[in-house]
């Protein structure tokens, strides 16, 4: 087997909440192969979202290390982490996190604007991505004018605008009905195959997890099986 795109070793994450210390991850080991599809599953509070945030550079571990394509992300400076998140990782969240004052096209363009990519090239690629996710007639619509499923499609297009190597989705079907959720899941799988992108989904839904070739189960902040 080839070298994993991402390897995590001994990841620990603790949060201090007033006088209380909450130990969320207690020593997680994980390998994610390039081009793979992994489901992180477990009940609420088991550390799925925390692990997703750590491997995506949204948060840093208290202990352990993350190796991404041969680089130790755990040792990145804040500016290096920012570039890593922007250029190499795409994020899809349950709550969409679209800016309400921007159109679908403008929301999709945001990560590329942050990366200071060509404006004309960015808008062309954003329009192509929105068409690919079935929203070619919604480019000028703001989030309030879109359904939940349409907003999630905009979020997926935004996550792909900078052609990331790793696509992370945190409960991407959690706010959707079963039919729309199924469509979103199928879309993520199709785009992953087309773009050769590594896909990691955090979910509490075992039906969603069952669609992934690799399932990582978290129990009490530890990997119970993978």
Domain that holds residue 59: 6-225
- Tell me what pLDDT residue 226 has: 62
Is residue 1 one of the residues assigned to a domain? no
For the stretch 83-99, pLDDT in tens is 999 999 999 998 999 99
Q: What is the 3-state secondary structure (H, E, C) of the chain?
A: CCCCCEEEEEEEEEEEECCEEEEEEEEEEEEECCCCEEEEECCCCCCHHHHHHHHCCCCCCCEEEEEECCEEHHHCCHHHHHHHHHHHEEEEECCCCCCCCCCHHHHHHHHHHHCCCCHHHHHHHHHHHHHHCCCCCCCCCCHHHCCHHHHHHHHHHHHHCCCCCEEEEECCCCCCCHHHHHHHHHHHHHHHHHHCCEEEEEECCHHHHCCCCEEEEEECCEEEEC
Is residue 199 one of the residues assigned to a domain? yes
Is residue 191 one of the residues assigned to a domain? yes
Is residue 185 one of the residues assigned to a domain? yes
- Tell me what pLDDT residue 225 has: 65
Is residue 184 one of the residues assigned to a domain? yes
Is residue 55 one of the residues assigned to a domain? yes
Q: What's the CA gap between 76 and 91, in Å, rounded?
A: 19
Q: What does the block give as tokens for 96?
A: 């969409």
- Tell me what pLDDT residue 49 has: 93
Is residue 41 one of the residues assigned to a domain? yes
Q: How many domains does the chain have?
A: 1
Is residue 42 one of the residues assigned to a domain? yes
What is the domain-level CATH number for residue 154? 3.40.50.300
Q: List the pLDDT tens digit at each of the 226 positions of the chain.
A: 578 999 999 999 999 888 889 899 999 999 999 999 999 998 888 899 999 999 999 999 999 999 999 999 988 999 999 999 999 999 999 899 999 999 999 999 999 999 988 888 999 999 999 999 999 999 999 999 999 999 999 999 999 999 999 999 999 998 899 999 999 999 999 999 988 899 999 999 888 999 999 999 999 889 986 6
- Tell me what pLDDT residue 46 has: 87
């Amino acid at each position: 087997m080839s070298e994993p795109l991402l390897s995590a070793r001994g990841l620990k994450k603790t949060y201090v909440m007033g006088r209380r210390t909450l130990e969320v991850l207690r020593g997680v080991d994980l390998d994610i192969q390039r081009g793979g599809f992994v489901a992180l599953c477990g009940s609420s509070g088991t550390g799925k979202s925390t692990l997703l945030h750590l491997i995506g550079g949204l948060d840093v571990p208290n202990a352990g290390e993350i190796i991404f394509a041969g680089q130790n992300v755990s040792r990145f400076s804040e500016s290096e982490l920012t570039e890593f998140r922007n250029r190499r990782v795409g994020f899809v969240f349950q709550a969409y996190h679209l800016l309400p004052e921007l159109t679908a096209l403008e929301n999709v363009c945001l990560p590329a604007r942050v990366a200071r990519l060509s404006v004309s090239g960015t808008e062309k690629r954003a329009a192509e991505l929105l068409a690919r996710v079935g929203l070619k007639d919604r480019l000028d619509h703001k989030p309030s004018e879109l359904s939940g499923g349409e907003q999630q499609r905009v979020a997926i297009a935004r996550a792909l605008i900078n052609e990331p190597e790793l696509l992370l989705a945190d409960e991407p079907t959690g706010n959707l009905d079963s039919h729309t959720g199924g469509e979103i899941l199928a879309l993520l799988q199709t785009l992953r195959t087309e773009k050769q992108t590594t896909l990691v989904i955090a979910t509490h839904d075992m039906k969603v997890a069952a669609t992934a070739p690799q399932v990582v189960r978290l129990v009490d902040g530890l990997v119970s099986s993978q």
